Structure 1
């Protein structure tokens, strides 16, 4: 008589739905995030590298975190001295967790919008240009180029904005010509890249 097979394939290790802020004011704080399909927080090692890259620019920056998910990027930015962080998240439960985190951390300079990011960018008028933008959508949706073009055409970007983009390693993306690749690295099948925006206008 055969024995039943234990269903262990979908079981997550304890603490797997916890996000740890790795630097700044809230360094070491652990925050939970919901079990939402497609929610894939940027890992500690990648975030450490990214925010080392951003260290000269993060203080006082106005940040826009598209597809915020667990808040790994938007909250880390606030912890490290960003002036503000606007986080957009489509999933209602994830968005509510983000609001709870901001309240727990007394982070009045953080804001959460429960919305579809691409639609929101298309329908809203930019309140001001953003200095740092995080683009890390669910890979299956292939939204990188559409979001990039909307950001560029809609007045969302400061003249010298910095854009972080996370995508599959083999992705070949057609991005605005004003976005110049500054840094890039790989972690497994994930590529993470930092772009600096350079406008074509000159002052002379």
Structure 2
């Protein structure tokens, strides 16, 4: 695993030692960041189910202003901290939150420009996450929500969002959504 672009380009990141954490592959990560490159600079980026921290670190490397990483697995938190240490990240601009994603979203109150969620493929509350993001108005007006799922997963209850892009990579699917301002 490595940082693909930006100020930490080429920097190697530690990978998980087991299969519990399924990092986004470099191919999918690069494609995703190419899709959202116009949104990154100066953005407030929320990385849900952060795993190794690779997505948040990539966003930070590409000049996102502030990164919030939400993770509650102890091994993942250790891995994220080790990866942040390896790049000597400025902790003023990166916040690591040890909390359940649903609980965090329900109480956040912050607005983000980009929200990325890559839950485990067997996670049953993806549609609930989308609803909470919408109901609690956690995205800025021009913000985007990116969900990485298994390729056959169907998103439901997304009437507050417009799917901008959807792309399948082997077993994974990336869905990029924006707020449907006509519905608000």
Provide TM-score, normalisation by structure 1.
0.83
**Kept in 1: contact 2:167–2:175 (CA 8 A):** yes
Assess if the C-alpha contact under 8 Å between 2:162 and 2:179 holds in 1.
yes
Aligned length: 182
Number of the residue aligned with 2:34: 52
Contact 1:59 1:81 in 2 (8 A): yes
2:100 corresponds in structure 1 to 116
Q: Is the counterpart of residue 125 in structure 1 residue 127 in structure 2?
A: no
Give deviations 1:142-183, integer Å, cap 9, x for gaps. 221011111111231111211111112111211432211111
Deviation at 1:138, TM superposition (A): 0.3
> In the alignment, is residue 170 of structure 1 matched against residue 165 of structure 2?
no
Paired position in structure 2 for 1:9: none
Matched, 1:82 2:70: no
Distance in 1 of aligned mates of 2:146 and 2:23: 14
Describe the superposition over 1:53-81 as per-residue Cα deviations: whole angstroms up to 9, x where unpaired. Answer: 11111000100000000112111100011
Cα deviation, residue 41, structure 1? 0.6
Partner of 1:69: 51
* Alpha-carbon distance between aligned partners in 1 of 2:166 and 2:121, rounded to the nearest angstrom: 18
1:22/1:149 Cα in 2 relative to 1: closer, same or farther (>3 Å)? same
Report the Cα distance in structure 2 between the residues aligned to 1:35 and 1:91, rounded to whole angstroms.
14
Change (3 A) 1:200 1:35: same
5+ residue gaps, structure 1: 1-18
Superposition pairs for residues 145-160 of structure 1, below 5 Å?
145-160=127-142
CA contact (8 A) 2:149 2:173 kept: yes
Measured on the aligned residues, the alpha-carbon RMSD in Å equals: 1.7
Unaligned runs of 5+ in 2: none
Distance in 1 (alpha carbons) for counterparts of 2:138 and 2:18: 28
Q: Are the aligned partners of 1:160 and 1:199 in contact in 2 as well (CA < 8 Å)? A: no
Query: Which stretch of structure 1 is more off in the superposition, 184-193 or 94-103?
Result: 94-103
Please name the residue that 1:39 is paired with: 21
How many Å apart are 1:121 and its aligned residue? 1.6
Tell me which stretches of 4 or more aligned residues in structure 1 moved more than 6 Å. none
Q: Which has the larger radius of gyration?
A: 1
Is the counterpart of residue 140 in structure 1 residue 144 in structure 2?
no
